[in-house]
Amino acid sequence: MEFNSKLLEELVKTYGPSGNETRICNYIKGQIENYVDEIIIDSLGNLIARKKGNGKKIMIAAHMDQIGLMVTDIDDNGFLRFTNIGGVSPLVSLHQHVIFENGVLGIIAKEPVEDISKLRLSNMYIDIGVKDKKEAESLVNIGDVCVYLPHYCENENTVFTSALDDRIGCYIAIEAIKAIENPINDLYFVFTAQEEVGTRGAKTSAYRIDPDICISIDVTGSGDTPKAKTFAVGLGKGTAIKVKDQSILTHPKLRNIMIEVAKNNNIPYQLEVLEYGGTDSGAVHLTKEGVPSGVISIPTRYVHSTTEMVSKNDVMNSLKLLIKLLEHNIEF
């Protein structure tokens, strides 16, 4: 299987901040509808696609929402104040380009601040290049959400762009849907909504599906950059099998099956103990009486910035692990 740059570029360039996933949902639906048996969009906006099989009912979750900035106020000169949708850093946001769903462009700027380390989102504004409030109001409304303007770059081994969190997970799920022809397990691929504001879509979709087990696919950090906090995950060293983050201790039996499948198929892997953050499995594993859950993580530098970075080999190894795992006769 080849690395599909076109698919990933289209995924990261399609608008879809938390709560406004319609465009990205429609894009993904178009990619997968010919490869699945059933497809529905639930009331929270989760896209749920089933590939029928007779084995275990497996939920595969990749979140399709991305972080964004929501307009809170428009001043007399047409400058926009904003709040965060998900984890948005002031320093990372400064001087970045943004784009609204209707295509309106802007940049993020700041009031004069003496100590840059004290920069807060409340001292910042979006400049959309208009002359006054009236012109601004003809382009954007209070409550509209913009995202970092996507700029896709890659070299032979690496991709750098915004929104790899978690369009890279969506990419892997889509490629797995296309690759698996005769599923032995009963597969429910869920492109979840509103992960970045607290794994909200994962909660309702897991309740509906009531899976036997769940695998999430999401980015994790990396500990391989200068003076990084100690973290035994790095780019180019393989897919990462999560042991824990702040939302979950992954199920040891499922984790061991994932490790065994990786070993048996010569897939390079790393074990991930993340001391912050969480993902959809954190919500799913607490559904009803509990759902044994694991996570396939993609080692990523600079998460929640405009220049997130992944290794293409790690992505392909994560995809391979997912496919082999789903094709495995899982005894639980």
Active site residues: 195
65 binding Zn ion? (CB under 5 A): no
> In this complex, which beta carbon is closest to Co ion, that of residue 192 or of residue 293?
192
Binding region for Zn ion (CB under 5 A) out of 47-55, 160-168, 222-230, 235-243: 160-168
> In this complex, which beta carbon is closest to Co ion, that of residue 90 or of residue 292?
90
**Residue showing the smallest CB distance to Co ion in the complex:** 165
Binding region for Co ion (CB under 5 A) out of 14-22, 24-32, 72-80, 164-172: 164-172
CA 262 to each of CA 25, 150, 181: distance values in angstroms, whole numbers, following the listed order: 31, 33, 21
218 binds, among Co ion, Zn ion, none (CB under 5 to 8 A by kind): Zn ion
Read off the amino acid at residue 310. V
Binding region for Zn ion (CB under 5 A) out of 7-15, 40-48, 159-167, 205-213: 159-167
> In this complex, which beta carbon is closest to Co ion, that of residue 48 or of residue 197?
197
Q: How many residues are there in the chain?
A: 332
Residue 36 CB partners (closer than 8 Å, separation 6+): 49, 50, 51, 177, 189
Q: Residue 173 Cβ, how far from Co ion at the closest point, in Å?
A: 16
Q: Residue 230 Cβ, how far from Zn ion at the closest point, in Å?
A: 22
Q: What is the DSSP string of 20-65?
A: --HHHHHHHHHHHGGG-SEEEE-TT--EEEEE--SS-EEEEEEE--
Binding region for Co ion (CB under 5 A) out of 11-19, 139-147, 161-169, 181-189: 161-169
| Secondary structure (3-state) at 142 | coil
List the strands of the sheet with 47-51, edge to edge.
38-41, 47-51, 186-192, 57-63, 213-220, 293-299, 239-244, 269-273
> In this complex, which beta carbon is closest to Co ion, that of residue 165 or of residue 327?
165
Q: Residue 198 Cβ, how far from Zn ion at the closest point, in Å?
A: 12
Return the beta strands (E) in the chain as ranges: 38-41, 47-51, 57-63, 68-74, 80-85, 97-100, 105-110, 124-127, 145-148, 153-154, 158-161, 186-192, 213-220, 239-244, 269-273, 293-299, 308-311
Among 65, 144, 165, 314, binds Zn ion (CB under 5 A): 165
By C-alpha distance, which of 190, 184, 164, 181 is closest to 325?
184
Q: Which helix (H) or strand (E) holds 245?
A: none
Q: Residue 196 Cβ, how far from Co ion at the closest point, in Å?
A: 5
> In this complex, which beta carbon is closest to Co ion, that of residue 165 or of residue 314?
165
> In this complex, which beta carbon is closest to Zn ion, that of residue 126 or of residue 163?
163
Tell me, by CB under 5 A, how many residues bind Zn ion: 3
What is the CA 189 to chain-centroid distance, rounded? Answer: 14
- Burial-class residue 242 by CB neighbours within 10 Å (0-12, 13-18, 19+): buried
Residues from 243 through 262 that contact Zn ion (CB under 5 A): none
| Lookup: tokens for 167 | 């369009």
Residues from 80 through 139 that contact Zn ion (CB under 5 A): none
Among 9, 21, 65, 165, binds Co ion (CB under 5 A): 165
Tell me, by CB under 5 A, how many residues bind Co ion: 1
By C-alpha distance, which of 255, 248, 228, 224 is closest to 321?
255
272 binds, among Co ion, Zn ion, none (CB under 5 to 8 A by kind): none
Among 218, 245, 280, 314, binds Zn ion (CB under 5 A): 218
Residues at the interface with Co ion (CB under 5 A): 165
Residues at the interface with Zn ion (CB under 5 A): 165-166, 218
